Structure 1
């Protein structure tokens, strides 16, 4: 017994002597956070801009998992309570799915140092907006006149230069809903849009996957399409002749949002990551080429190519109820792909 006590005493003494060194090492070691991120431009932007800012300001290392929104939802659902990442990045449809399935920690916006720089509508009990999206019509001003709205796309001279895509993205879904509304449909009834598209399908210039549309426009295979301002600005930066038109029924607005995954073991680092993303310096950097994000921080001046001078103006833009859209969207995607392929 005495030997055992002696060993305990020795171990305790060694731990006491080592504690200051361990504490110093822990203070110097960076925390880490793993964030799901959209592949492509988003991943590149966050790697080049957010990651170094997070390390510099908060001493937090950013690891990223490139995943589209539906893949984030699916991967979390398959994780059986062990989240594969700490933060989601989602558009409105998948965001609602995550809320309904209990995939997020409750969000406390007061933990963000930059909270007062965000419009009130951007933060709620589930997360916070990190980028604004504005959707309307893009056109080549050297090839076609400026369209006044979605109905013009089905007439000459626009219809023969029209490029369309389906419901696979948020911008595609909201555009087709707005087209349906012009022809008598609604947020949940897209039959009029599909009927009108079928009538003109032999005449339109291109049908493409969402990711292919900027390339088709740049190559001149189409000269008018529904899209977001980020795509328009990016193509203009490349020297493409392109302008953004706000439809007479109004531009559509939505926000891409960040959420902390339920069960995350890096809550503090996750808040620091989110706070860094919405900070003035990072938002300014993300707005610049080649990324062209629409900032959500009110202290950042909006770019000249946007159809509003302040984020407050987005309150009058068209929005949609994704709790109603989500149950229908899968069938819409399948039907568009089946009926509109050329």
Structure 2
């Protein structure tokens, strides 16, 4: 059964996130490096690939899943005793972390694989481990191929079959900025997006809390379309699902993903070893394979045909890179407004 995310559901999720704040403290008690990663594919892949690499160097690694917004909230709640030694973030949350003095510039000399990264991936606050390319996932057995975001609202064959998440999701907010440009006056015209949902209430039937929930609904056949990264589609394909990726006609939103060193990290040596392992050819080659299918930033790693069917190195400059400063200035207000629209 599809779950509509009412304000009550949002409040339950908030309580769950607060309870999850105890997990890093439990990990701290166990010792070793505590690294935040995104839930789902990221968590599974990093635990499987990076844990043994860190163990070889004599470090214990604890991977804890948390969305970037939740990582920020946990570290901001206790900046003097951060919940994580390293954070995994896209530019939007990374900018907030810098503004709030939660992360520190790194010393590239401590990373043996630093010179394997192109300059664009050599962030002063930590290396870029991949570029997430976003678009639309659809089931070709249930709906026709959409040309882009506008089709999902303009064509009746998609009514009631599309799932969305809230503005806390980077994938979602990037899609919403594109919709704002299509149906409004620019990427910050979210009132046009909210009105779009009011005019198409069927689009609110499958609003859920996360991409992971969407993946479950897709597998169960309860939805046929959702906004996602190429890695999400690769995961579904690896499970035998009928899933295809669409680069929207208005362009595919993309976000570099960086590992950051938290100020007050309890094991800086392990944190650098973790960063170095994440950008190593060995790790990135393994993580490039399904079901993780992450784009490698280490230029010694040759792209597989499976990756190149989604994106090539030549495609990177032509992707749509959102204005995260604009997003950060408005995100809290957008979250509240969208919650109100969902609640009806």
* Interval of TM-score (by shorter of Structure 1 and Structure 2): 0.7 to 0.9
RMSD: 2.3
Counterpart of 2:315 (choices 300, 313, 316) is 313
- Tell me the CA shift for residue 249 of structure 1: 0.9
Q: TM-score, normalised by structure 2?
A: 0.83
Contact 1:260–1:270 (8 Å) recurs in 2: yes
Q: Which has the larger displacement, 95-104 or 40-49?
A: 40-49
Matches within 5 A, 1:1-342: 32-56=32-56, 58-154=57-153, 155-202=155-202, 206-210=206-210, 211-303=212-304, 304=306, 308-341=310-343
Task: For 2:73 and 2:84, locate their aligned partners in 1 and report how far apart those are by CA, in whole Å.
Answer: 12
Q: Which residue of 1 aligns with 2:20?
A: none
Task: For 2:218 and 2:236, locate their aligned partners in 1 and report how far apart those are by CA, in whole Å.
Answer: 9
Task: For 2:189 and 2:333, locate their aligned partners in 1 and report how far apart those are by CA, in whole Å.
Answer: 12
Task: For 1:306 and 1:160, locate their aligned partners in 2 and report how far apart those are by CA, in whole Å.
Answer: 32
Q: Which has the larger displacement, 99-108 or 242-251?
A: 99-108
Task: For 2:104 and 2:218, locate their aligned partners in 1 and report how far apart those are by CA, in whole Å.
Answer: 41
- Tell me the CA shift for residue 294 of structure 1: 2.8
Task: For 1:332 and 1:225, locate their aligned partners in 2 and report how far apart those are by CA, in whole Å.
Answer: 20
Structure 2 gaps, min length 5: 1-30
Contact 1:60–1:269 (8 Å) recurs in 2: yes
Contact 2:293–2:307 (8 Å) recurs in 1: no
1:112-151 superposed Cα distances (whole Å, 9 cap, x missing partner): 2212322321122211112321111111112222111111
1:316-340 superposed Cα distances (whole Å, 9 cap, x missing partner): 1001121221131122122222213
Task: For 2:270 and 2:179, locate their aligned partners in 1 and report how far apart those are by CA, in whole Å.
Answer: 43
Task: For 1:115 and 1:80, locate their aligned partners in 2 and report how far apart those are by CA, in whole Å.
Answer: 28
The alpha-carbon distance between structure 1 residues 140 and 306, as it changes in their structure 2 partners (threshold 3 A), is farther
Q: Which has the larger displacement, 240-249 or 121-130?
A: 121-130
- Tell me the CA shift for residue 92 of structure 1: 2.4
Task: For 1:172 and 1:206, locate their aligned partners in 2 and report how far apart those are by CA, in whole Å.
Answer: 14
- Tell me the CA shift for residue 306 of structure 1: 5.0
Q: Which has the larger displacement, 182-191 or 94-103?
A: 182-191
- Tell me the CA shift for residue 247 of structure 1: 0.8
Q: Which has the larger displacement, 163-172 or 72-81?
A: 72-81
Q: Which residue of 2 aligns with 1:12?
A: none
Task: For 2:309 and 2:322, locate their aligned partners in 1 and report how far apart those are by CA, in whole Å.
Answer: 19
The alpha-carbon distance between structure 1 residues 140 and 43, as it changes in their structure 2 partners (threshold 3 A), is closer
Structure 1 gaps, min length 5: 1-30
Count residues in correspondence.
311
Which SS does the other structure have where 1:55 is aligned?
helix
The alpha-carbon distance between structure 1 residues 239 and 59, as it changes in their structure 2 partners (threshold 3 A), is same
1:77-123 superposed Cα distances (whole Å, 9 cap, x missing partner): 23352334321112222211101011112123343221232232112
Contact 2:234–2:292 (8 Å) recurs in 1: no
Task: For 1:226 and 1:168, locate their aligned partners in 2 and report how far apart those are by CA, in whole Å.
Answer: 14
Task: For 2:280 and 2:303, locate their aligned partners in 1 and report how far apart those are by CA, in whole Å.
Answer: 15
